[in-house]
Homo-oligomer: A and B are copies of this chain.
Amino acid sequence: MIRAAMAESELARGLLAGDRRALARAITLVQDDDPDGRELVREIYSRTGGAAIVGFTGPPGAGKSTLIGALTRRRRAAGREIGVLSIDPSSPFSGGAVLGDRIRLSEHFLDHGVFIRSMATRGALGGLAEAALQSTLLMDAAGCEEIYLETVGVGQAEVGIAGHADSVVLVLVPGSGDSVQALKAGVMEIPDIIVVNKADHPLTDVLVRELRGALSLAPPSAGWNVAIVTTDALSGHGVEQLEAVLQSHRDTLGDAGALERRRRLHLRGEVIALASARMRRALEQRLEGDERFEALIDEVAERRLDPASAAAALSERPDA
């Protein structure tokens, strides 16, 4: 126990000193749901809050990784230390996403001012959200001044993690009709910034017009109008403008404690979500291989016990 505690403090010291290997090891602990990882986050938490967190979300294939790579290049030139956390979907049949992202970000691999990490979504989204949140805190404590959080998706759950960033960027491409419809119908939350990537496509103007139409239905937000930026991440076109818009959003957040309020609201939601996910995992672990539970489900399947009563029996008697 004493050795572990010492090793841990050593890891914390290395992390706070900005050691990249310490950061990598710390994130692995957190991803593996190792108690030492949680302890480490607890230890360094008071040293977090300095990083600007930007969430990037959007459908697969929109070019998020390329865009993050291009933005990273500019921000590195401005002397900023960058952390990138990519969250990959748990694909049952495409293992390519992680590798693809890594290739797109590969020019930054040898730069000690950039820390890149991918995380696969396996199992519960709750567990993933927790690991992502904690990894972000570790990057923050390790001195990353800007952290880019990338999640894939066009629904509510997928957007959730990146949606808890200080600034939320939705990346679309011509052909993203479903996302426009989801914004219009209110199925998807309104981001702070929308990037229309692959802007050399002939249908870019149509998409921008559709987006303006969808946004015009949204209730006015205090102090910030959703910005639409067209980019071509491959050539770098528009990335300078995105950089400026992000800064402008950051400035707005600085006014009258808006950033603090937003962060408190997100943290409040995160604590409840983490607690719920923790309870769900505890329940699932308890039921794993539990023959009485399978017998209960047999009763439900045979229409002898209704699902809600079975659920009530499970949730109300945590010892059952």
Are B271 and A310 in touch, CB under 8 angstroms?
yes
- Encoded as 1 (CB less than 8 Å from any B CB) or 0, chain A from 76 to 107 comes to 00000000000001111110010000000000
Task: Determine whether A243 belongs to the interface, using a CB cutoff of 8 Å to chain B.
Answer: no
Q: Is the CB of B153 within 8 A of A90?
A: no
**A38 within 8 A of partner (CB):** yes
Mark interface residues in A280-320 (1 if CB within 8 Å of B CB, else 0).
10111001000000001110110111111111101100000
A179 within 8 A of B: yes
Question: In the bound complex, how far is the Cα of B241 from the Cα of A274, in angstroms?
Answer: 46
Once A157-B156, A283-B272 are accepted as A-B contacts, the answer to whether A130 and B308 lie under 8 Å apart by CB is yes
Is A32 engaged at the interface, CB distance under 8 Å to the other chain? no
Interface pairs A-B: 4 shortest CB-CB:
A155-B155, A91-B186, A175-B177, A274-B311
In the complex, 30 of the A-B residue pairs with CB atoms within 8 angstroms, ordered by the A residue number, are A42-B306, A42-B308, A45-B303, A47-B303, A59-B181, A60-B184, A60-B185, A90-B186, A91-B186, A92-B186, A125-B156, A133-B307, A152-B187, A153-B156, A154-B178, A154-B182, A156-B158, A176-B178, A177-B178, A260-B301, A264-B298, A267-B297, A272-B280, A274-B307, A274-B311, A275-B311, A276-B279, A276-B283, A278-B312, A279-B315
